[in-house]
Amino acid sequence: MIESSDFRSTKVPLSHGAGRIPVLGFGTLIPDAAVTRTATKDALEAGFRHFDCAERYQNEREVGEALQAGLAAGGIAREDIFVTTKLWNTNHRPERVEPAFEASLDRLRIDYLDLYLIHTPFAFQPGEEQDPRDQDGKVIYDRDVTLLDTWRMMERLVDGGRCRAIGLSDITLEKLLPIYEAARIKPAVVQVESHPYLPETELLEFCKEKGIVLLAFAPLGHGMKPGLIEDPVITAIASRVGKTPAQVLLAWAVQRGTALLTTPKSADRARENFNISALPDDAFDEISRIQTRQRLNDVVNTGSPGFIPRAISA
Residues that bind ligand NAP (CB under 6 A): 27-29, 52, 169-170, 191, 217-223, 229, 246, 261-265, 269, 272-273, 297, 299, 305
42 versus 170: smaller Cβ distance to ligand NAP: 170
23 versus 135: smaller Cβ distance to ligand NAP: 23
User: What b/e sequence results for 142-175 when a residue is b if at least 16 CB atoms lie within 10 Å of its CB, and e otherwise?
Assistant: beeeebeebbbbbbbbbeeeebbbbbbbbbebee
32 versus 144: smaller Cβ distance to ligand NAP: 32
**How many CB atoms neighbour CB 271 within 10 A?**
15
Nearest residue to 154 (alpha-carbon basis) of 65, 94, 104, 79: 94
157 versus 198: smaller Cβ distance to ligand NAP: 198
150 versus 263: smaller Cβ distance to ligand NAP: 263
75 versus 207: smaller Cβ distance to ligand NAP: 207
Least distance from C-beta 246 to ligand NAP, angstroms? 3
Main-chain phi, psi angles of 126, to 5 degrees: -65, 150
DSSP secondary-structure letter at 283? H
User: Which residues lie below 8 Å from residue 17, measured CB to CB, with a gap of 6+?
Assistant: 158, 164, 165, 188
Least distance from C-beta 86 to ligand NAP, angstroms? 7
Q: Is 57 a catalytic residue?
A: yes
Distance in angstroms (rounded) separating the CA atoms of residues 125 and 142:
5
Least distance from C-beta 312 to ligand NAP, angstroms? 15
Which residue out of 57, 116, 180, 197 is catalytically annotated? 57
The amino acid at 68: Q
Least distance from C-beta 48 to ligand NAP, angstroms? 12
Cβ atoms of 102 and 85 within 8 Å: the answer is no
CA angle 300/304/259 to nearest 5° reads 45
Coil vs helix vs strand at 156: helix
Query: Distance of alpha carbon 132 from its chain centroid, rounded?
Result: 24
Distance in angstroms (rounded) separating the CA atoms of residues 249 and 243:
10
Least distance from C-beta 251 to ligand NAP, angstroms? 12
> What residue number has its CB nearest to ligand NAP?
27
Distance in angstroms (rounded) separating the CA atoms of residues 26 and 28:
7
The amino acid at 169: S
166 versus 281: smaller Cβ distance to ligand NAP: 166
Least distance from C-beta 189 to ligand NAP, angstroms? 11
Coil vs helix vs strand at 199: coil
Cβ atoms of 236 and 286 within 8 Å: the answer is no
Least distance from C-beta 25 to ligand NAP, angstroms? 8
Active-site amino acid positions: 57
